[in-house]
A = this chain, B = another copy of it.
Amino acid sequence: MITVDDALGHLMALVSPLDSEQVPLIEAAGRVLATDVTARRDQPPFAASAMDGYAMRADEVEQHSIFKVIGESAAGHRFEGQVKPGQAVRIFTGAPVPAGADFVVIQEDISRSGDLITIASAPSSNANIRALGGDFKIGDRVTAPRLLNPSDIALLASMNIANVPVTRRPQVALISTGDELVMPGENPGPDQIIASNTFGLKAMLDQLGAHCRILPIARDTEASLTMGFDLAAGADLIITIGGASVGDHDLVGKVAGDLGLERSFYKVAMRPGKPLMGGRMTGAAMVGLPGNPVSAMVCGHIFIAPMIRCMLGLGAVPCSPRTASLSAPLPANGPRQHYMRAKLDQGKIRAFDRQDSALLTVLAEANALLIRPPNDPARTIGEQVAYLPL
């Protein structure tokens, strides 16, 4: 048995950032920028009015002054002439400021009569002009790697980046194993249960940017498991669920070994999730997760999520624990690191009483995994503990 940190180290060594692909901007949200992109234009591309009003010469701006309106500059349609002393141009938000003008008086401060305007109220000192390139200039960079959020998408649009280089999605093959499993919607026999881990893991990893394929359930035979691995061809990461423990029917380690798995480790000192295995197999990373539903999902959060982020180019960084104060005491922990299903509420955290690794109802109620280090002593209310948000 190795520690969680050692297991993470082994797993991160199995993956590296994937190559990139171009996607249309409309599909780039939530993807990871793979290489720096540079603005194709200045923004704004001209000195632009920040308000609706009148453009004139700053040295003439004074209450009660009178100007002749000689034209209009609208967004998309600039005034082509020059603003000379005593002159003003009607201007709208986003429109180019005409040559000669360097101040915009907002229309609320103006009284107009025909082509003549008077500055009726004392204008503010703000020129209401956005300088050319004030937001960004040609060649300004958005640097990779970067998980693209909605604001980034708006920024890339305004830079005229119509196609975006992003890291391609990690291809993940999910194989659940076991004669007891049937797919949702089937009629299970009296000794059978429904395969749930592949569905939960797909939801988790797709959300992070992976593309998961759920493969047919592999039965507890060497032939069926071999077929499962065959079907996983092309995946960057092959995940098996179940069949990795010490039972006579736990064939994942043997079959994967026969197919060339170079195993990096087996068994981790943690609860839930001890019978975890990892290695390299026909060019892909391979992780064997335990079959208990909660174990599989917890290992997904602790181990698989950082592997996906690494493949996406976001760095080999494990999840960072946060801290909260206990609202219920905890007994001493045993020799394995324990990820307890817990509820975080207004900065206080308590572990659920029932921690059996088969209880999906408890996991669904949890919003945090409370982390107990190996041999952590008993803890009392108010003590600070580490947790990972779910």
Contacts and interface: CB of A to CB of B under 8 A. Distances in A.
Contacts of A50: 356, 358
A88 to B, nearest CB: 15
A154 B197 contact: yes
Q: Interface range on chain A: under 10, 10 to 19, 20 to 34, or 35 or more?
A: 35 or more
Interface string A126-158: 000010001110001010000011111111111
A75 B157 contact: no
A157 B364 contact: no
Most buried by B among A41, A136, A185: A185
Contacts of A95: 180, 191
Interface string A63-104: 000000000001111100000000000101111100000000
Contact of A194 (B148, B157, B189, B292): B157
B207 A155 contact: no
A356 B180 contact: no
A318 interface: no
A366 interface: yes
Interface stretch (A13-21, A242-250, A259-267): A242-250
Given A188-B41, A190-B45, A356-B134, A94 B151 contact: no
Interface of A: 25-26, 29-30, 41, 43-46, 48, 50, 52, 74-78, 90, 92-96, 107, 130, 134-136, 140, 142, 148-163, 178-181, 184-185, 188-197, 199-204, 206-207, 214, 220, 245-249, 291-293, 297, 300, 356, 358-361, 363-364, 366, 390
